[in-house]
Each structure stands twice: as structure tokens, then as C-alpha cells.
């Protein structure tokens, strides 16, 4: 006799019969089907994060406050009294000169604010932004403002 594919069978005991639970009280797992009696565990309709009536974790944690705009423009600020102290001789002052003097960090936008006084020194300031009082004080001292 020749062995053919349809003659092959698994070894005895290799495949256990599928247990159909909850199909009558005569079987091994009839009636409660291995789930105990009553309660949500027996009914099987709760979600995985259900905490049994306790306030859930997502409601216990505090909410994040505020909002961070991705479009916010952040300036390095320099006041007029700082410019007067760093550059007593006046002249042309740009972001690179302010970086060299240690007033601001490299690669960031610079805004000049009007706190303090220039002491009558003429300065030509180049920056990314100026406050109204700073532009007025620089102009009154004979200097100029250039927005980059």
C-alpha cells in the first residue's frame, strides 16, 4: 500500500477537542463557564481600564494648564542703560556686536527696550525690534534705529 497525504492523521491525544463552554450543565464547564457567579467579571462587558467604580486614573490626574503657542516669537532683550555701559563711545551697534559684548546669545532675535538713558551718546542701533520708548530715546540722542 502506498502512503498518501489523505492517509495522514495526528498521533492519538495530540489534538484535544475544543471545549465549548457554557453549553449546558452536563459538560465540564457548563452553567457559569468558569467565570464564577454574577458580577461584571461574569458578564464580560467592561473595558480594560475600568477600575470597579473607583475614580479612573484619567480623571484623577490634573489637567494641563495654559497653552504654548508654537508661533510665539521670543526676543533677547537689551536695555538702553546696558548699551550705554557696553558702548560708551557710541557708534554702530548690531546683534553681532551685542553678542561679542556678552549682552545676548548668538542666533537669537534681539529687542531693544527703553529702560535707562544713553547719556547723550550717539548710537546707530540695528536690532530685530524696538520698544517705542527706546526708539524715541535713541532718536533724541541723535542716533538711528534700523529694524532687521
H-only helix segments in 45-123 = 57-60, 80-86, 95-101
d(CA 23, CA 8): 32
Q: How many whole angstroms separate alpha carbon 72 and alpha carbon 69?
A: 6
Evaluate if residue 102 carries a pLDDT over 90: no
Q: How far apart are CA 39 and CA 100, in angstroms?
A: 74
Cell of 5: 497525504
> Could you tell me the pLDDT band of residue 109, with boundaries at 50, 70 and 90?
very high
Question: What gap in Å lies between CA 87 and CA 93, rounded to an integer?
Answer: 8
Q: What is the pLDDT, as a whole number, of residue 70?
A: 93
> Does residue 57 surpass a pLDDT of 90?
yes
Distance from C-alpha of 60 to C-alpha of 99, rounded to nearest angstrom: 48
Is the model's pLDDT at 83 over the cut of 80?
yes
Structure-block grid coordinates of residue 132: 517705542
Q: Where are the domains of the chain?
A: 76-147
Architecture of domain 76-147: Ribosomal Protein L15; Chain: K; domain 2 (3.100)
Q: What is the pLDDT of residue 11?
A: 94
Amino acid at each position: 500500500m502506498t502512503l498518501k497525504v489523505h492517509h495522514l492523521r495526528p498521533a492519538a491525544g495530540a489534538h484535544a477537542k475544543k471545549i465549548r463552554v457554557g453549553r449546558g450543565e452536563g459538560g465540564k464547564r457548563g452553567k457559569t463557564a468558569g467565570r464564577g457567579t454574577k458580577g461584571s467579571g461574569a458578564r464580560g462587558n467592561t473595558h480594560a481600564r475600568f477600575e470597579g467604580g473607583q475614580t479612573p486614573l484619567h480623571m484623577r490626574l490634573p489637567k494641563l494648564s495654559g497653552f504654548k503657542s508654537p508661533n510665539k516669537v521670543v526676543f533677547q532683550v537689551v536695555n538702553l542703560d546696558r548699551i550705554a555701559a557696553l558702548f560708551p563711545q557710541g557708534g554702530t551697534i548690531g546683534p553681532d556686536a551685542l553678542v561679542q559684548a556678552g549682552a545676548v546669545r548668538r542666533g537669537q532675535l534681539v529687542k531693544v527696550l527703553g529702560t535707562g538713558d544713553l547719556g547723550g551718546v550717539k548710537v546707530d542701533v540695528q536690532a530685530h525690534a524696538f520698544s517705542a520708548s527706546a526708539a524715541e530715546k535713541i532718536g533724541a540722542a541723535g542716533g538711528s534705529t534700523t529694524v532687521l
